[in-house]
């Protein structure tokens, strides 16, 4: 018989996975567009919003005053 053991570590406190939860307000039209993309692609709305935000941050330019 094997002496192999399954070691289960305690789960860390919420939020230690590198993600944070926050709420935003968006126009109904934008939400509907996101819902349509989610339906067509099979991605969750949360996944899409994360992708969209990542893209926007990576391609953002700050205009000088």
> pLDDT per residue over 1-18, tens digit each?
678 887 877 777 776 778
A 10 A CB-CB count for 10 gives 5
The whole-angstrom separation of Cα 50 and Cα 47 is 5
What's the first-to-final CA gap in the chain, in angstroms? 72
Do the domain assignments include residue 29?
A: yes
Whole-number pLDDT of residue 58: 92
Do the domain assignments include residue 34?
A: yes
- Report if pTM > 0.85: no
The whole-angstrom separation of Cα 21 and Cα 49 is 12
Q: Map tokens 């993600």 to a residue.
A: 19
In the chain, how many domains are there? 1
Do the domain assignments include residue 11?
A: no
């Amino acid at each position: 018989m094997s002496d192999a053991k399954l070691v289960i570590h305690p789960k860390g406190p919420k939020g230690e996975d590198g993600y944070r939860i926050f709420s935003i307000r968006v126009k109904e039209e934008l939400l509907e567009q996101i819902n349509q993309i989610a339906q067509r692609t099979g991605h969750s709305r949360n996944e899409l919003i994360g992708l969209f935000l990542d893209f926007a941050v990576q391609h953002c330019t700050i205009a000088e005053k």
